[in-house]
Structure 1
Amino acid sequence: MFQNFETQGDRAAGPARLKALRAEMARVGADGFLIPRGDAHMGETVAPRDQRLLWLTGFTGSAGLAIALADRAAICVDGRYTLQVRDQVDGDAFDYVQIETQRPEAWLKAALRPGRKLAYDPWLHGHDGLEALRKAAEEAGAELIATDNLIDRIWDDQPAPPMGQVIVQPEDLAGESSAAKRARLGRELEEAGLDAAVITLPDSIAWLLNIRGADVTRMPAPHAFALLRPSGEAQLFVAAAKLTDEVRAHLGNQVEIAEPEALGPALDALKGAQVLVDRASAPVWVSQRLEAAGATLERGQDPCVLPKARKNAAELDGAREAHRRDGAALARFLRWLELTAPEGDLTEIDVVQALEGFRRETGVLRDISFDTICGAGPDGAIVHYRVTEATDRRIAPGDLVLVDSGAQYQDGTTDVTRTLATGPIPEGAARAFTLVLRGMIDISRARWPNGLAGRDLDAMARAALWRAGLDYDHGTGHGVGAYLGVHEGPAALSKRSTVPIETGMILSNEPGYYREGAFGIRIENLLIVTPPSVPDGGEREMLGFETLTLAPIDRRLIETELLEPAQRAWLDAYHARVAAEIAPLLSDPAERAWLISACAPLG
């Protein structure tokens, strides 16, 4: 199994570890310390060595920040984790701060006192995030000071750094050679008058060099740093033990390879140069080193981020093939679940194991793209619930089961959520499910003019819920990589996303509704942004979406009369497509028959 079910955090250990951290703060003359979720590469997925927030607090979520002061502490999370954080983190030791209602800097400004010193590890903070905290500290009369990582000083059994092997991503899947990518981006640096770009995001480096890695689970990119020059030449700072002769030959003589420790001297050598540094994701250590060396910083965006998000034809073809393959595995799984769950013998772990098993039977599964979320009944209301042996719940007939999962295949990354009935429908669940479905369909059918961003589309997914006085506390969708991160920037379907949505991007579409203590509902497909075209009878070109995900939606949970005619027509056409593309991939006649039945038109 790729996924394990061990309890990762230790809520009970939090107060003692916080006490030890405070003692270390006192030894270095600091009155506080910042503990972000990320690592030096600012990735969502972090290696065991870098799970400092989890070690200190017990919180296992994918985003968060702890602030430890001498007399108070807080854990700051977004709306996805409102329930989870209370379950995993000791509320007597840490204040719970939900960032939608109270920003971390607001809590910090109120909690800090004049003259205090707040320490931070410059490897673990980007420029923008740290500046907001710096401003709050200064407004409170305090100051930020850089230090080494104080958690590392007290974490006795901290794991070693990851050393996963690097592999080549074939050009027929990448769709463009690394040399062509480097030359194209190098020309952009030259046109902007820049002498170099610092690249610290693992998925950017993997995309640029057409390599993949295994330093963290679920996201196939290596821990490394890189410098790109206008000539298209690059320096790759990566542990030599990760590279095979095949990878070295693939990189060629235009990519100089050095150990990670050589990054500092390479930055020092950029004295007088104009250097692009990503203002959000590059560690402030990089900026501080460059400024000390006398370089001029251009704070912008990693040059790989947008090109990586605009998938080329080969990447899109790979994504389609991966989703057809995944769709067949999902069909087999959904049939199994529908037949087995009403017996009342399944647990959430059983479901997760079975789904991974169906995907493994494809013969080409490289990993899951994130730990599968399987929430039965009230567990479904925990947006990013991860089942453990301690929390494993038996699925009672009548429980709604929310299954959010994905796969990593070398030709594509998948992410899909289905909410399923296991017996009698809970009161109010079908109505809520149908309202969520309406929003999902409306996003799928959307057309919009070039230049609009996710915040311009997000309300389409919520309108039916809003009219009913309901909502959900997460974004409607995120970007997805091409055999890379299942969460990829820069665009998103979100109230906060200002990045224009462009042709070739892959976005998730996943509205939801969560009734605490009862059930959770989420329906998710992945979408490709299609090129501009003029709709029938229209006058202006509009972008649109092509649905990638091919899996039936549980018709037992639909109140058909709540759907508008166009929404019903979309769903019937979608199900007809699922049956047409996936049924031929199923060798078992019973599985084919089930899928065709599950995809029948609404009555």
Structure 2
Amino acid sequence: MSDPAYFQTFVETARPEQGPPRLAALRAEMADMGLDGFIVPRADAFQGEYVAPHDDRLAWLTGFTGSAGHCVVLAEKAGVFVDGRYRLQVRNQVAEDYTPVDWPEISLAEWINAQAAQGARIGIDPWLLSVDQAERLEGDLDNARLVRTDNLVDRVWPNQPAPPMGPVTAHPVQLAGEAHGDKIARLAQTLAPADHAVITQPDSLAWLLNIRGSDIPRNPVPHGFAVLHATGRVSLFMAAAKLTALGEHLGDAVTLHGPEDFLAALAGLEGVVGIDPATCPLAVLDALEAAEIEVHRADDPCLLPKACKNPTEIAGARAAHHRDGQAMCRFLAWLDRTAPGDLHETDVARRLETFRRETGALLDIAFETISGAGPHGAIVHYRVTEKTDAPIEAGQLLLVDSGGQYRDGTTDVTRTIAIGAVGDEECRNYTRVLKGMIAVSRLRWPAGLAGRDIDPFARQALWQAGLDYGHGTGHGVGAYLSVHEGPQRIARTGQVPLKPGMILSNEPGFYREGAYGIRIENLVVVQKAAELPGQTVAEMLSFETLTYVPLDRRLIVQEMLTRDERDWIDEYHAECRTRLAEGLDPETRLWLEAATAPLGA
């Protein structure tokens, strides 16, 4: 079971009253450095979505614990920039000394241009901004300039946690589907015109070397850097103490160096060096340019190969989703027997984790479980704490978004559950969200289309009612790696063509502030679609559904469905019975039979 601190996201640092004195301490450092501002992103040197406690500077400074955002601290104002997922959360977590800013609608540069004095010097830690972020920001500033400095938050943070030193383990080829030596050799041939490629993303490093780590909670990735050489060798910069369990796994093609040697090694490279400007820290580009090394900008060479899962990884995903689906059935059956009762949101999250652990295969949960009752469900990435923990009451919707990390795959599933009888509005909006999820599930499309082309199908039923949701429809998912994985996504901003083997979430939603939230999520994998008679398109793609967990039939307004949608639901539920019944306890099996009965039965 998770430590009780699991429900205390970043323990004491999320209290709004702690923000003002910390803000004052940071401003004193700014004044000593002759700076008019300082930017605190929610980022680490590896530019991952999730950060270790050592790097959670944004949460420590402001109290905001979301997975994306920035704080721009000026002498008189401090803006906290958050996207649509966190607009409600940020208002609950930060003190009045901070001003929430709707981002990306308002960019950092726009806000600084409006708020900072002419000639303002804005400090940045060059390890915490990617090349793209820094250059875009610098280019958009009219009345200020960026000044590289060490991290001022670290100067004023007493008892800052130490950098993580989690052990690294080998990921067996039986689950990876390809030996890491073969991956290195294959990708080394793709680097031209570069002679070397800098790899800074933890999941790319883990995938390339068939290793898994424990430096980030819930994400089995190690912190480190690497350089992939066109000669078919890899220079790995990681603390040797983390690698003691690997034995001879890395082999002769990988040379180990201490992380403190990374910048000096970059400066000593000969030839052209490739960097991914979207994820490479600005500090890396600075080091290469200072050494007068030619830089080639290109995507991380691991990005697409990692995203396009091989048959072994897809088979592992199916197996992981099968055991996870059975755990979810046990959970939903228990919830129906127990709720409302004396249950609170934390009880739900803990009990769900227990059912996953009882599979005997769970290594960790995939992210902090979202268990939001009533109005908490409207906070898209709500994280229950002991302070916010609310009772689950009759007449509410309960939104539960959760997942598991298994050796053979990563799961992520959301179900919205009726606690007793709920209102007509909730049912009609649930049905609209469900129609969107079904539309994406059934879709066939010509190869070459991107996530932005798929996204409107999820929203059509909501748009027809004048409704929408403020997040993307789907994110990529790793193979026993990060639950959020790029570059693929189903969203207005998703520009990467979808390719066979990519695993994505399919999760439309709707949120009524102060009242309820609805989200339904399955994971799907892109596959080649069967050819149809008379087909003229050279190649069509479709989705295979990975997640089989019953939907809440009590929330479905059947007259709002088309015949095809009704058939899809009945077929999906029949497949849930076929896949999940065997091995369930008798009580849960009875619940499954009732929960998956045909509509109208």
Please name the residue that 2:35 is paired with.
Answer: 30
2:227 is paired with a residue of what secondary structure? strand
2:106 is paired with a residue of what secondary structure? coil
C-alpha deviation, 1:154, in angstroms: 0.4
- Counterpart mapping for 1:308-327 below 5 A: 308-327=306-325
C-alpha deviation, 1:581, in angstroms: 0.4
C-alpha deviation, 1:268, in angstroms: 1.0
Q: Where does structure 1 lack aligned partners over 5 or more consecutive residues? A: none
C-alpha deviation, 1:23, in angstroms: 0.6
The residue identity in structure 1 corresponding to 2:111 is W
Please name the residue that 2:226 is paired with.
Answer: 226
Counterpart pick for 2:62 among 57, 65, 72: 57
Aligned equivalents of 2:562 and 2:532: distance in 1? 20
Aligned equivalents of 2:336 and 2:132: distance in 1? 48
C-alpha deviation, 1:589, in angstroms: 1.4
Please name the residue that 2:20 is paired with.
Answer: 15
Please name the residue that 1:594 is paired with.
Answer: 591
Q: Contact 2:378–2:512 (CA<8 Å) still a contact in 1?
A: yes
Q: Which moved more, 1:435-444 or 1:5-14?
A: 5-14
Aligned equivalents of 2:22 and 2:554: distance in 1? 49
- Counterpart mapping for 1:452-531 below 5 A: 452-531=449-528
C-alpha deviation, 1:537, in angstroms: 5.2
Counterpart pick for 2:295 among 294, 297, 301: 297
Q: Contact 2:40–2:71 (CA<8 Å) still a contact in 1?
A: yes
- Per-residue CA deviations over 1:99-126 (Å, capped at 9, x if unaligned) read 1432222112211221110110000000
Counterpart pick for 1:124 among 122, 128, 134: 128
Q: Contact 2:127–2:283 (CA<8 Å) still a contact in 1?
A: yes
Q: How large is the RMSD of aligned CA atoms in angstroms?
A: 1.1
Q: Contact 1:31–1:116 (CA<8 Å) still a contact in 2?
A: yes
2:329 is paired with a residue of what secondary structure? helix
- 2:414 is aligned with 1:417: yes
Please name the residue that 2:157 is paired with.
Answer: 155
C-alpha deviation, 1:193, in angstroms: 2.2
Please name the residue that 2:99 is paired with.
Answer: 95
The residue identity in structure 2 corresponding to 1:298 is H
Please name the residue that 1:181 is paired with.
Answer: 183
Please name the residue that 1:5 is paired with.
Answer: 7
Counterpart pick for 2:71 among 62, 66, 69: 66
- Per-residue CA deviations over 1:34-79 (Å, capped at 9, x if unaligned) read 1000100011111000000000000000000110011211000100
Aligned equivalents of 2:599 and 2:532: distance in 1? 26
The residue identity in structure 2 corresponding to 1:179 is G
The residue identity in structure 2 corresponding to 1:227 is V
- 2:542 is aligned with 1:538: no
- 2:81 is aligned with 1:76: yes
Q: Where does structure 2 lack aligned partners over 5 or more consecutive residues? A: none
C-alpha deviation, 1:128, in angstroms: 1.0
Please name the residue that 2:111 is paired with.
Answer: 107
Q: Contact 2:429–2:510 (CA<8 Å) still a contact in 1?
A: yes
The residue identity in structure 2 corresponding to 1:161 is P
C-alpha deviation, 1:2, in angstroms: 2.5
Please name the residue that 2:241 is paired with.
Answer: 241
In structure 2, relative to structure 1, the CA distance for the partners of 1:533 and 1:113 (3 Å cut) is farther
Aligned equivalents of 1:133 and 1:479: distance in 2? 27
- Per-residue CA deviations over 1:372-420 (Å, capped at 9, x if unaligned) read 0000011100100011111110111111100000000000000000000
Aligned equivalents of 2:536 and 2:423: distance in 1? 46
Aligned equivalents of 1:261 and 1:516: distance in 2? 48
Relative to the length of structure 1, the TM-score reads: 0.97
Aligned equivalents of 1:24 and 1:300: distance in 2? 37
- Per-residue CA deviations over 1:122-173 (Å, capped at 9, x if unaligned) read 0000011111211232x12x21110000000000110001010000000010
Structure 1 runs, 4 residues or longer, greater than 4 Å off:
none
Counterpart pick for 2:360 among 359, 363, 378: 363
1:74 is paired with a residue of what secondary structure? strand
Aligned equivalents of 1:100 and 1:25: distance in 2? 26
- Counterpart mapping for 1:178-217 below 5 A: 178-189=180-191, 192-217=192-217
The residue identity in structure 2 corresponding to 1:353 is R
The residue identity in structure 1 corresponding to 2:454 is L
1:156 is paired with a residue of what secondary structure? coil
Please name the residue that 2:91 is paired with.
Answer: 86
Aligned equivalents of 2:314 and 2:490: distance in 1? 20
Q: Contact 1:117–1:144 (CA<8 Å) still a contact in 2?
A: yes
Aligned equivalents of 1:562 and 1:532: distance in 2? 28
Aligned equivalents of 1:467 and 1:427: distance in 2? 17
Q: In the comparison of the two structures, how many residue pairs are matched?
A: 594
Q: Which moved more, 1:551-560 or 1:105-114?
A: 105-114
Q: Contact 2:64–2:94 (CA<8 Å) still a contact in 1?
A: yes
- 2:380 is aligned with 1:380: no
Aligned equivalents of 1:600 and 1:173: distance in 2? 36
